[in-house]
Amino acid sequence: MKQALANPGNPLHVRSGALVRATAALVLPAALAWTLSYLGGILLPLFSAVFLLFVLAPAAIALQRIGMGELLSYFVALVIGTALVLSMGLLLYSGFAHFEIRVPFYVERFEAIAARLVKGTEWEQPGGGVDWGNAQVEELLRSSPAQIVRWSFGSLLGFLSGFGTAIFFLVFLVLEQHSFPGRLKRAFPQGLLLDGREIAMRVGEGVRVYVRVKTLVSLGAGFTTGLSLWALGVDFWMVWALLAFAFNYVPYVGSLIASVPPVLIAFLQYDLGWKAWAVLALVLVNQLGWGSLIEPRVTGKRLDLSPLLIVIGLAYLGLVWGVMGMVISVPLLLATRELLICFPSTRPLGILMSTGERPEPELPSSRRP
């Protein structure tokens, strides 16, 4: 019996191998999901720190070109980046505080617009206004904006707390990046070291291209959004510009989510006037231009990830780790795909994660047949 199972051509051997692969296909994703959920308190700030390291890399390289040392350049870039994030946090905090003061005006304007729209219909109250049909609905309309502002305050404070933990990890990543290559040379044979370096370069290049392009596109989208809203005099235009920049890191849905608040505020502020429709048009053109035209042209086919896989990763990591999980979902998928393609046994899985629109890269030199 043992000899029959050991024979690769035996049907029992084939069926047992297929059973093992099917079991692994079910068990490994479940184990990964459990690990990401259970160890989220450690993994999320660690992966966020790696993501920030890729964001800071272009600035650090630019500083090195003017003569600054590698270690010092990363710490200077880190200080500048931290100062920018904290400044953004303070601006958002101040904007939310002023927005809460304006909430009664927006609620009053909303009720006036709704009353005009339902005039002459069954929804109109006898004395004017809207018959919501339920007192709880009316109370919800009055209380929801304030609740949203308070939730935004809490989310912002939670993000800044998580950012502090990620910065702690990032400091040690910078230190390790400076000394780790030397330790690798002493620890492993030259052939294995070259193989590992080639794999690391492939993984790093894919993530680096994505993060660099996404950062530039996010800056462009935030700047043009802010400029358009400022030109039209929309309330809290700087808050909406910062949100456009930050949420553009979330694939597919981020820019859409960031577009909703300024459009709603414009319609309430300008009472359905032409400026409100101009804001809607400019925001749509801005988001479509950056997301559908400029970003794909810059990245080309280098992303090469299945859109369905991106949506699944986005949904799952958003559920487990919140907004920051959505931000780092694509870099994690990119790194996983490049890593899987570098090994013959896992290469089929890496190919399945791609769109199939570009030739697959060759195996590392030491792993080619």
Domain ranges within the chain, ordered by starting residue: 44-187, 208-369
Indicate if the pLDDT at residue 91 is higher than 80. yes
Q: Read off the pTM.
A: 0.73
Instruction: Give the tens place of pLDDT for each residue, 6-30.
Output: 455 555 444 555 566 566 556 666 6
Residue 212 near residue 58, CB atoms below 8 Å: yes
Residue 70 near residue 184, CB atoms below 8 Å: no
For 224, other C-beta atoms within 10 Å of its C-beta total: 19
pLDDT value, residue 2: 46
* 124 φ, ψ (degrees, to nearest 5): -80, 135
Residue 236 near residue 95, CB atoms below 8 Å: yes
pLDDT-derived band at 5, boundaries 50, 70, 90:
very low
First CA to last CA across the chain, in angstroms?
33
> Tokens 């959004």 sit at which residue?
225
Which residues, other chains included, contact 62 with Cβ-Cβ below 8 Å and sequence gap of 6+? none
Extract the tokens encoding 317: 């990591």
Q: Which residues pair with 130 in a beta bridge?
A: 124
Instruction: Give the tens place of pLDDT for each residue, 292-340.
Output: 777 766 665 556 777 888 888 888 888 888 778 888 888 888 888 877 7
Instruction: Give the tens place of pLDDT for each residue, 49-75.
Output: 888 888 888 888 888 888 888 788 888
Query: Comparing C-alpha atoms, which of 312, 310, 88, 311 is closest to residue 210?
Result: 310
Using a CB cutoff of 8 Å and minimum separation of 24, what contacts does 261-267 make? 262/225, 262/229, 262/234, 262/237, 265/106, 265/234, 265/235, 265/236, 265/240, 266/229, 266/232, 266/234, 267/113
Largest CA distance in the chain: 91
Indicate if the pLDDT at residue 162 is higher than 80. no
Of the listed ranges 20-34, 159-173, 260-274, the one predicted with least confidence:
20-34
> Tokens 């953004």 sit at which residue?
88
Percentage of the chain beyond pLDDT 90 is 5
Instruction: Give the tens place of pLDDT for each residue, 120-161.
Output: 666 666 666 665 555 444 555 555 555 665 656 556 566 666
pLDDT value, residue 361: 58
Extract the tokens encoding 330: 């694509």
Q: Which residues pair with 124 in a beta bridge?
A: 130
Percentage of the chain beyond pLDDT 70 is 67
Q: Tell me how far apart the alpha carbons of residues 263 and 250 are, in angstroms, rounded to a whole number.
A: 19
